[in-house]
Amino acid sequence: MKGSILFLLSVGISAMVSAEIKDPVATEVWEPVPSKITTAGNGAPPSDAIVLFDGSGVSEWKSQRDRGGAKWKVDNGNLTVVPGTGGILTTRTFGDIQLHIEWSSPTVIVGEGQGRGNSGVFLQERYEVQILDSFVSKTYSNG
């Protein structure tokens, strides 16, 4: 008896949710109104961008290992991993983002598959957007 009451209750809730979804007003969101974003059109970042690396320093970054200063090197406007120093994290925390990265593979390609130009961007220290040099390189296809 108890099971049938729960079943009827859940069917009733499903019917109410289905009826709500058919009304487009139920899913419309009008506030907050997003601010207008402008671009200079000359390669400059959008007006709402927070630039985390401008080619001159690592002040927006910290070491993932010890949370101290980032130990990667800045050379000729590029940020380069120093082998053995580990990953880096932003000094700020973010919620919603639009991510723009510029990345290049090593000049001298050494290795195959995951061993050549393998990097990534972690979101929330959990989810990784893999950046992998796979050009003319055999690697697994489901990664």
* Contacts (Cβ under 8 Å, ≥6 apart) of 42: none
Model confidence pLDDT, tens digit, residues 18-59: 555 677 777 788 888 777 888 777 878 888 889 999 999 999
State the average pLDDT for the chain. 78
Asked if pLDDT for residue 84 goes beyond 90, the answer is yes
Cβ-count burial 41-79 (b if 16+ within 10 Å, e if not): eeeeeeeeeeebbeeeebebbbbeeeeeebbbeeeeeeb
Predicted pLDDT at 141: 64
Cβ contact 69:63 at 8 Å: yes
Q: Record the tokens describing residue 34, joined without a space.
A: 């997003």
Residue 143 — very low, low, confident or very high, per pLDDT cuts 50/70/90? low
Q: What is the pTM of this model?
A: 0.62
Every domain of the chain and the residues it spans: 2-100
